[in-house]
Structure 1
Amino acid sequence: MDDLAYQVGLDPIQVRLLNYADKDPSTGKPWSSKSLKQCYERGAELFGWSKRNPQPGQTREGKVLVGWGMASASYPVHSAQGNARVRLFADGHAVAQAAATDLGTGTYTVITQTAADALGLAPDKVRFELGDSVLPTTVISGGSMAAGTVSSSVYLAAQDVLQQLVKVAVMDKKSPLFKAKPADVEVVKGRLQLRATPAKGEGYAEVMQRAQMTDVEGIATGRYGAGYESAQATLNAKSDDAGKDAAGQHSMHSFGAHFCEVHVDPELGTVRVTRWVSVVAGGRILNPKTARSQILGGAVMGIGAALMEAGVRDPHLARYTNANLADYHVCTNADIPDMHVEFIDEHDPYINAMGVKGIGEISIVGTAAAVGNAIFHATGRRLRSVPITPDKVLEAMRQPA
């Protein structure tokens, strides 16, 4: 895309907008949601893209060449489903369970928050249990599937709990909600109350104590991706099968855009990334802090892939000769500038009960391309193999632009 932009004399963002796909080109299906244009717009604004000199090799700071590059990011939704159990106790605490894993990406945090929000409890009143095969089965932590699947199943299990409590309350003559329609009851901060008359209601504990219930258990199956059509259709079901789109009428991707500035020393061939902006559209963001950390981590990995990371094999033994961090170079703090990450506020009613898309992989998609495009803008030479090491830069600088 960057090559095309320069060959036809268009801005790299403009050429992408001219070829913008409002439907999935491979299937012809509409997107469940797509906010890539907003990613371009916000990323360009944050980066100051309008100030970019369109001519490559023309911007300097002292002796170093300065280049700006950008690239798109797209990662497909790998459809999955998983199960969860939520148990609410009469003393006001709750336990959510799913046989998920936390790789350090914040699963403990976001699922605890999901359960707490769904039940109307403070997060410190909820414990999330995972990492044990005796728990309800769910998807692996891979393919950017975990958050969308586990959050959906836990949310639906919590809804199951609340619907059971509401049924008990509206049938209890001693409850202020007696004979109320279940659809007219809402949950606010651990309390069941009438939407139209919030003062008319009571806490979970009162309902459960009168019914001599020590706890209420809810179970549910949550879907992520194809097979889900309307989040609203799940509110009165223990499983979101009620909202499934069996025909798979939508194509589902996360989208984003990365913007990069590099300084290239034409005498030494060194490349340093000096500014970075990533803007991502990932549906509902469960926790902005942990989500930002995932994008930062992926972008750092992408910069490493672009500039230094390479496995070297012995041609006779087929073994890696640099299988250690002394010889296999990865980015350190000194290699990475301050990086700015933002998310587009995106609603996706088709992907799952929570409207959550995966962001684990999209953080690295397009990052090496953004670095390579910035190097071309700085030098006027297109380097097509990664990592773009100083020897490759020096060799390219010897060639005519």
Structure 2
Amino acid sequence: SKSLKECYARGAELFGWSKRNPKNGQTKDGNLLVGYGMASASYPVHSSQGNARIRLYADGHAVVQAGATDLGTGTYTIITQVAADSLGLPMDKIRFELGDTNLPTTQWSGGSTAAGRVSSSVYLAVQEVWQKLGKVAISDKKSPLYGAKPEDIAVEKGRLQLKANPAKGEGFADIMKRASMSDLEGNALGKYGAGYEAPKATVNANMNKKEEAAPHSMHAFGAHFCEVHVDPELGTIRVTRWVSVMSAGRILNPKTARSQVIGGSIFGIGAALMEQSVRDPHLARYTNASLADYHVPVNADIPNMTVEFIDEHDPYVNAMGVKGIGEISIVGVTAAVANAV
């Protein structure tokens, strides 16, 4: 999926880009010069894979395990949400365990891969649980699903039911208790990027046409819009308005995703206007190796920031259609500031 044009259009609308004076140096706020700039953002999908395990209990709770990490980016939250949604359980009935090498192996948090990889492996592990339960139900004469074909069964909020007749079905707890099952385990390998192809994505593809055949180029995209005030006498620059619009497949949690984009944009503003590493020319050591000398933005340096996401579906990238946003948020930020100046 590529929604870069949509990012441009929505960002320009939120920012009021068409209302600006395009002539340089002609817009003022008192004695301050006002400048407007924008820049594109693109970040590639770094292919990776990882494992996850789900154990669903008949009493209505589940344990989710993956040897992942949470750097403060919200992995605990989004994976708990994915498991809860896939199992049809409240979030407080999910316990997500990570950060231990004894857990199912998965790769590190880096390259904006964790959300897409771990969410997909958890989602697929849940599907294995439903497949196992479906087999139990269709072989149980007391089940409303007895004798049904596996492909005719759907799962809705923890209830297994016939696709053609949703009224005919039952909850997972009833199936498990009748079979004297206290719990049931599902395991899966989730792939992010290369190596993953949703069957539906290429079933009708014309392999003679490159754009329809795998493999695909995979990226997240975005656009940043910036307003600056420049003091022509002092040379000071202050960012006064900011808009970021991102397209990164399915957004698992808009609140935590927005926070990541805000954080990355602030990093970029700091890189553009404040941060500078100074080395001793004789010893090659950093001479400003503390926050007293190495300046980074604080709250007073940053305006209210508007962040939105373009809703898009990507069937090629992974089972959940999720792309990473951890690093794309800083891409293009310094360019937007520079263009505004």
TM-score, normalised to structure 1, is 0.81
Tell me, what secondary structure is at the counterpart of 1:42? helix
**Alignment partner, residue 45 of structure 2:** 77
Q: Which runs of 4+ in 1 moved over 6 A?
A: none
Equivalent residue number for residue 250 of structure 1: 216
| Separation in 2, partners of 1:365, 1:267 | 30
The alignment status of 1:95 with 2:63, answered yes or no, reads yes
Residue number among 170, 185, 209 corresponding to 1:202 in the alignment: 170
Out of 161, 170, 184, the residue aligned to residue 152 of structure 2 is 184
1:154 corresponds to: 122
Match of 1:366 among 319, 332, 338: 332
- 1:331 aligned residue (274, 287, 297): 297
CA distance in 1, matches of 2:185, 2:173: 15
CA distance in 2, matches of 1:231, 1:349: 9
State yes or no: 1:299 paired with 2:265. Answer: yes
* 1:232-257 CA-partner distances (Å, limit 9, x unpaired): 58xxxxxxxxxxxxx95200000000
Cα distance 1:366–1:144, how it changes in 2: closer, same or farther (>3 A)? same
SS at match of 1:356: coil
Which position in structure 1 is the counterpart of 2:232? 266
Shift of 1:197: 2.1
Query: Are 1:232 and 1:353, in contact at CA under 8 Å, matched by a contact in 2?
Result: no
Match of 2:250 among 268, 284, 290: 284
Percent identity reads 76
Deviation at residue 196 of structure 1 after TM alignment? 2.4
Distance 2:319 2:157 in 1: 21
Q: Residues 231, 273 of structure 1: CA spacing in aligned structure 2 closer, same or farther, 3 A cutoff?
A: farther
1:311, 1:134 → 2: CA distance? 40
CA–CA distance in 1 between the matches of 2:158 and 2:42? 39
Matched, 1:128 2:96: yes
Q: Which amino acid aligns with 1:43?
A: G
Say yes or no: does 1:118 pair with 2:86: yes
1:204-250 Cα shifts (integer Å, max 9, x gaps): 111011111111101010000012121658xxxxxxxxxxxxx9520
Q: Is the 8 A contact 1:96 1:154 kept in 2?
A: yes
Change (3 A) 1:192 1:287: same
Q: After TM superposition, give the deviation of residue 261 of structure 1 in Å.
A: 0.2
Asked if the contact 1:231–1:350 (Cα under 8 Å) also holds between the matched residues in 2, the reply is no
Question: Given the alignment of the two structures, is residue 169 of structure 1 paired with residue 128 of structure 2, yes or no?
Answer: no
Alignment of 1:53-68 (within 5 A): 53-68=21-36
How far the C-alpha of 1:83 sits from its partner, in A, is 0.5
Q: Distance in 1 between matches of 2:107 and 2:86?
A: 21
SS, match of residue 256 in structure 1? strand
C-alpha distance in 2, partners of 1:348/1:191?
Answer: 27
Q: What letter corresponds to residue 372 of structure 1 in structure 2?
A: A
Give 3-state SS (helix, strand or coil) of 1:291's partner. helix
- In structure 1, give the amino acid aligned to 2:336: A
Residue in 2 that maps onto 1:212: 180
Give the count of matched residue pairs.
330
Q: Which amino acid aligns with 1:331?
A: P
Q: Deviations over 1:81-134 (max 9, x none)?
A: 001101101111011110000000000000011111111111111111000011
* Equivalence for 2:19: 51
Shift of 1:195: 2.3
Q: Distance in 2 between matches of 1:296 and 1:248?
A: 34
SS in 1 for 2:330: coil
Aligned 8 A contact 1:231 1:352 in 2: no
Letter of the 2:122 partner, please give it: V
Mapping of 1:140-151 within 5 angstroms? 140-151=108-119
Structure with bigger RCO (C-alpha 8 Å, 6+ apart): 2
**Separation in 1, partners of 2:57, 2:228:** 56
Provide the rounded CA distance (Å) in 1 between the counterparts of 2:189 and 2:157: 25
TM-score with structure 2 setting the length: 0.95
Structure-1 residue corresponding to 2:208: none
SS at match of 2:243: strand
Please state if 1:318 is matched with 2:279: no
The answer to whether the 8 Å contact 1:148/1:354 transfers is yes
Distance 1:77 1:188 in 2: 31
